[in-house]
Structure 1
Amino acid sequence: MPTAQRVRQGATLSLLFGAVLLAGAAAGAWGEPVGLPQSRSGDSTRLAAQDLNGAALSPAQAERLVGESGDRWAAYLSPEEYADFTGGRYPGVGLSVERTGGATTVSDVVPGGPAASAGIAVGDRLLSIDGASADQLPVTDLVSRLRGERAGTAVALAVRRADGPVREVSLNRAELAVREVVVDHPRPGVVRIAVRAFTSGVAEQVRQAAQGAQGVVLDLRGSSGGLVQEAVATASLFLDGGPVASYQVQGSTRELTAAPGGDTATPLVVLVDGGTMSSAELLAGALQDRCRAVLVGSRTFGKASVQQPTRLADGSVLELTVGHYATPAGRSPDGTGLLPDVPVHPAEPADDLALRVLAGLRTRNT
């Protein structure tokens, strides 16, 4: 397996929309991350990343530093919150939603989570959250309200199944384990691997899922980012060495490189949308630039900043921006996102289009 050594850096880097799945997709499907307030540009934070390692700051001091840093993506995490991030845990009600034709519907329900226990099912319409119309809420506001700030807090939802009556339910948010990788087999010989976040061990799960497949659909829709080394290790599964991305830190360029020996023959389609961000965009951009995969879907979110965790004396962590990455061809998705090779059309669901493109690739390879 590729390791973080190939990232060629001293400290672990992460590409996060804030921290621990803190994100909101711009369109399409999304889960339950939370965004941080936007602020000024963050040159002062890069200095803080060097000077604050091991610093004895109180939580109030650390949070004030984040607020005053001018770093849009900075975040403060307690030791427990950082452990939850790297282990893939988050507070929430255990459902994901998608918006189609202006309607907000439930696209996934975590087994055993608060939403599942309340009888909410895939396909249900989400009508309101805490009294606000779900269809009218901006995406980031909607996912923020679903997530909340911590486990144990309550949220009120109104849902409806098909043409049935409206049900109002009150859910208590719980600490949930993220299902980072979800696998199914839509056609014989084809595996679809949905990666929702790049936490520890995701690349190994993708490797196991792709073994023996005659075609792979890598679904990065709504994937909110995570650990850079996991994204690089996932790219290494489908590349035989070579560049994955580069990033600038204090005027110097550092390279992220794939390990040799990956599978370069199995047809590969990558599904993307407005919720594909951060390290998921890094992976998609590498596979696109290296002509290893066909990207299907819609424009990605557009976040290419790199955060480095700075460990404080009490074990808590400051996530501070240290640079921006570029794809192997030198493109920066920051603010613009990546365009798919095959845009999705309203008349054909993205999943069906991905399978059709994959079938064409498999035919060409035979």
Structure 2
Amino acid sequence: MAFKSVNLIEQHCKGGRHMTVITRTFRIVTGSLCISMLLIFHSPGPWSYAAESKTYEQIKILVDILGYIKENHVKDVETQDLVYGAASGMVSVLDPFSQFMEPRMHKEMKVETKGEFGGLGIRISIKDNWLSVITPIPGTPAYKMGILPNDRIIKIEGESTKGISLMEAVEKMRGKPNTDVTITVAREVMDENKEPITETKDYTITRAIIKIESVRGRMLDDTIGYVRLIEFTRQTDIDLEKKLHELADEGMKNLILDLRNNPGGLLNIAVDVCDSFLAKDQLIVYTHGRDKARRMDYVAKRNNDFEQIPLIVLVNEGSASGSEIVAGALQDNKRAIIMGSRTFGKGSVQSVISLSDGSALRLTTAHYYTPSGRIIHREEDSEIWGVDPNITVDVPREIQAKLRAQEELIFEKGKKPAPGISEEERVEDELLNRAIQGFKTRELFRKMEISKTAQTEPEQTNDE
């Protein structure tokens, strides 16, 4: 491979001396880089025994290309730019959730998990080679503009997003607060004949500092408490416990836990949320990667004040990752009734590996499984994925958009109309109403054999 490429250079160079200089210099560069790669592959660590001849030959191709570019490209190129580009390219062939993060992006990610960052306020993924919205974050610019789960962002500032990486998309959409960015959204809607069609629309959204209020809640009546978990940040479990005790002091005897459009977040926080509702030692979730024998179980570790409160959990297609873990654990442990529509299907574990220069590798290393052994993650052409509700209530996307505009009605249950929403424009939250009715009649709990005393732990199965 290397000599074939050198011959191409020779054919385009006039004069043997010039050819010799290029070839000699290239061989010195290549040799140095190969030695460096050999040192890496022979150093202590997980790759210590991977430096077989075939692996070395494949790595040598990469080194050869790097050497050619450094010596012969028409413009001077920084080695770091080439290495970062190669790293991004390698990771891009893996899966939509793995990514290489340059130092600045790695720093932004750490800020994001703390619950405050700048941008539009949407969680995104790559789906069928297009940028797709997992969910907008309530209260953010994107949320207020009416962006919905499963919207496909086909353009950013007029440029197609087909084939774009997550990192590139984030960089394009983030920016200084109070500046605008225009995105073009493709959305599937129903026409007058109830046939699905795709509509496209431009949204010009003003960037803002995104502060995530991860827990919101109130009493819906004298006995039914309502808590919405917006996202799993570092503060969520603490804020949830505080909110639950506040509602208990107000007379809460039943709880509706709303995980709709919750995109997930930190795994350990999702586990801690489950811990608030499960008995000690009940299985919450388990993970394993390529080596199925290396299974990791997460179980409830403490007794708490709310492990027997009657519970209904609301989910939809925007419920992903951590929210699917919570819904799946409570469902499999027969601890709650799940209502709504099938969840998103993002059940992969990303490990963040910090690198020496401040960059990082976000690598998918395992999948989540519910206590009964169901896989959450949705692969291409999969039929089994996500969490299917016990009671299916599909809310049309146009109704979801209207509910967004009157979010206060969800919390106030009609007691305090949202500003700017007329009586004619108001819509009922059918899913929330069904949950309230379920508590009042108790029929759902009798049918599902779920009650305060239903604490049966499901059989823990190993995946084959």
Task: State the TM-score, normalizing by the size of structure 1.
Answer: 0.65
1:187 to 221, 224, 244: 221
- Deviation, 1:231, is 0.5
Task: List gaps (5 residues or longer) in structure 2.
Answer: 1-44, 48-78, 124-135, 158-168, 185-201, 379-384, 396-427, 453-464
- 1:173 is aligned to 207
2:275 to 222, 229, 236: 236
Alignment of 1:59-98 (within 5 A): 61-62=83-84, 64-69=86-91, 70-72=93-95, 73-77=97-101, 78-93=105-120
- Deviation, 1:348, is 6.8
Q: Whole-Å Cα distance in 2 between the matches of residues 142 and 217 of structure 1?
A: 36
Distance 1:67 1:253, change over 3 A: same
Task: List gaps (5 residues or longer) in structure 1.
Answer: 1-48, 52-56, 97-106, 116-120, 127-133, 159-167
Q: Whole-Å Cα distance in 2 between the matches of residues 331 and 254 of structure 1?
A: 15
Q: Whole-Å Cα distance in 2 between the matches of residues 315 and 270 of structure 1?
A: 40
Q: Whole-Å Cα distance in 2 between the matches of residues 216 and 293 of structure 1?
A: 10
- 2:54 is aligned to none
Structure scoring higher RCO (CA < 8 A, sep ≥ 6) equals 1
- Deviation, 1:304, is 1.4
Larger helix fraction of residues: 2
Q: Whole-Å Cα distance in 2 between the matches of residues 60 and 196 of structure 1?
A: 39
Contact 1:91 1:149 in 2 (8 A): no
Q: Whole-Å Cα distance in 2 between the matches of residues 334 and 173 of structure 1?
A: 31
Distance 1:215 1:140, change over 3 A: farther
Distance 1:224 1:62, change over 3 A: farther
Deviations 1:201-243 (A, max 9, x none): 2111111111213111111111111111000000000011221
Deviations 1:238-271 (A, max 9, x none): 0112211111134111111111313221111110
Q: Whole-Å Cα distance in 2 between the matches of residues 143 and 192 of structure 1?
A: 37
The structure number with the bigger radius of gyration is 2
- Deviation, 1:185, is 2.2
- Deviation, 1:186, is 2.0
- 2:367 is aligned to 324
Contact 1:191 1:209 in 2 (8 A): no
- 2:386 is aligned to 337
1:297 aligns with 2:320: no
- 1:353 is aligned to 434
1:279 aligns with 2:322: yes
Distance 1:314 1:294, change over 3 A: same
Once superposed, what is the RMSD of the aligned Cα atoms?
3.7
1:310 aligns with 2:321: no
Distance 1:266 1:314, change over 3 A: same
Equivalent residue letter for 2:439 = L
SS in structure 2 of the partner of residue 188 of structure 1: coil
SS in structure 2 of the partner of residue 71 of structure 1: coil
Equivalent residue letter for 1:293 = A
- Deviation, 1:194, is 1.3
Deviations 1:301-338 (A, max 9, x none): 11211111111123333211011111111111222211
Distance 1:215 1:333, change over 3 A: same
Q: Which runs of 4+ in 1 moved over 6 A?
A: 142-147, 362-366
- Deviation, 1:359, is 3.0
Task: State the TM-score, normalizing by the size of structure 2.
Answer: 0.53
- Deviation, 1:61, is 3.4
Larger strand fraction of residues: 1
Q: Aligned pairs, how many?
A: 279
